[in-house]
Amino acid sequence: MSSSTMTTAPQGVSDRATDPDWWRGAVIYQIYPRSFQDSNGDGIGDLVGITQRLDYVADLGVDAIWLSPFFTSPMKDFGYDVSDYRGVDPIFGTLDDFDRLTERAHSLGLKVVIDQVISHTSDQHAWFAESRHSRTNERSDWYCWSDPRPDGSPPNNWLSIFGGSAWTWDPRRCQYYLHNFLASQPDLNFHNADVRKALLSECRFWLERGVDGFRLDTVNFYYHSQGLESNPPVDPEEYNASIAPAVNPYNLQDHLYDKSQPENLPFLMQLRALLDEYPGTTTVGEVGDAQRQLEIMSAYTSGHNKLHMAYTFDFLGGEYDAGYFHDRIADLEEMVGDGWPCWAFSNHDVMRHISRWQVAHGYELRFAKQAAMLMLCLRGSVCVYQGEELGLTEAELSFDDLVDPYGIEFWPNYKGRDGCRTPMVWQAASHLGAFSAAPKAWLPVPADHLVHAVDRLEEDPESILNFYRAFIAERRQRPELVKGDIELLDSGTGVLAFIRRHGNAETLCVFNMTSDERDFELPSGLDIEQNDWHGDLVPRQGGHLNLDAYIGLMVRIV
């Protein structure tokens, strides 16, 4: 469908104003459309397929779905290179298909959050085609153009996350243009007021269609320094490979000038003002800055006038270690003030956490349950990535199977993002796990994923799938876990413990994040209900809890 399609809201728009704060403490299920369900047999998932599977999502007990991009795109970066913000790419369906998906989701009590990729477009977007045509046309300043240095080299040392310089020469204008990702993903110039106005209009289009919010891709990449200063090298003591793989030289710069600029705050206020016209809508921003993640997250979510919530890469990388988690949570609580975090352990860009946080053989299921429980007990909202509830591991793919340009560029030391994007598995004994009737899916369905298929796990009362369902349902009954405060406790090596509070309700959460037994001493004066365990049963000896390997527990305080 083209961008000229009607902008009036279809029937089925949810009553978003019923609980305008529904997003606070929400559990959001991320759907990667290419890999969820193929309805037409072409090997690629689509919007009709998603609609067919929404009952499954609703049965998980989540509050919302987040749809990764389905917009018109040449698919060089699989939808994160948009060529029409108001169109649905034909491989995914039509705008009518999207409307039916939204209506069905709302009828099931699910909110609909969609990706908005507004830091850059595809080079096939009409805006860029016009901008690159000359230096004098109406959109000549809509992208980030610069003359070369006297020797013909790029304006500065800025690097692309996908490898090489962040500048590409364009012979039409005899200038360089900026791209933080692929050369086919030119960066929009947010310093231009017309660009900001146009992007807000694109967002309004989807709000009018009934979406309940936006996940904002690379939200701190919108602005660059107009001075085009070169970035300094990173301080070795602050080196952090959380944003890019360790083999990527992008990590060697301190990105002071190519992103995370102060001008971003006024634009986020403009965006929030637009969302406020539609009560009950929300935003969640992706903050990627290796040196200043929490500071930026705090600035972007504080004051109730910018983003509703944001997430960082702290737990999309890092260690599965109680000390690391304690310190990151403590830092967040100190910095974020009245802001609201959103947590994720896996998504479409990183290795699945079941594989990334490797555990000793034999503890895989217990670890998967503990990780789910831990994420769902943190203060904030939660994003669950499709297949996470099945305990899916990172798929091992050959180089010939890769389609991700990031993995192809840095193979074999970094294998890219295809391993976390393989299709969902619905039926263990069916072709391609019942994802598609096509002879071949766009990415392989690993044989070892089939044992995790939905139909098989549903039959096992002890499965990770049934644990997710049970724990999300339990969490809904505890307002302290949904919207409460958090108090970190001193808990000893390898143990993470905290109290969640809301009103008069208090819950103690304790996690032994090691493969060894641990002992946890209850704080002086604290007593817990004996019949309120949720998690594995833990022996109690006086004021101590004996914690087996990868035990997680949640219990009310009396």
Task: Compute CA distances 117 → 13, 188, 217, whole Å.
Answer: 23, 11, 5
Q: Which residues are catalytic?
A: 217, 277
Specify whether the CB–CB gap between 432 and 438 falls below 8 A. yes
Specify whether the CB–CB gap between 88 and 417 falls below 8 A. no
Residue 292: HSE in the Cβ half-sphere, 13 Å Cα cutoff: 14
Residue whose C-alpha is closest to residue 420's, from 55, 119, 68, 50: 68
The maximal CA–CA distance of the chain, rounded, in angstroms, is: 79
Residue whose C-alpha is closest to residue 385's, from 416, 357, 421: 421
Round to whole Å and give the CA distance between 445 and 4. 38
SS3 204: helix
Round to whole Å and give the CA distance between 228 and 406. 25
Task: Report the chain's C-alpha Rg in angstroms.
Answer: 23
Round to whole Å and give the CA distance between 336 and 53. 36
Round to whole Å and give the CA distance between 450 and 425. 6
Round to whole Å and give the CA distance between 76 and 151. 31
DSSP 428-463: TTSGGGGS-SSSS-SS---HHHHTT-HHHHHT-TTS
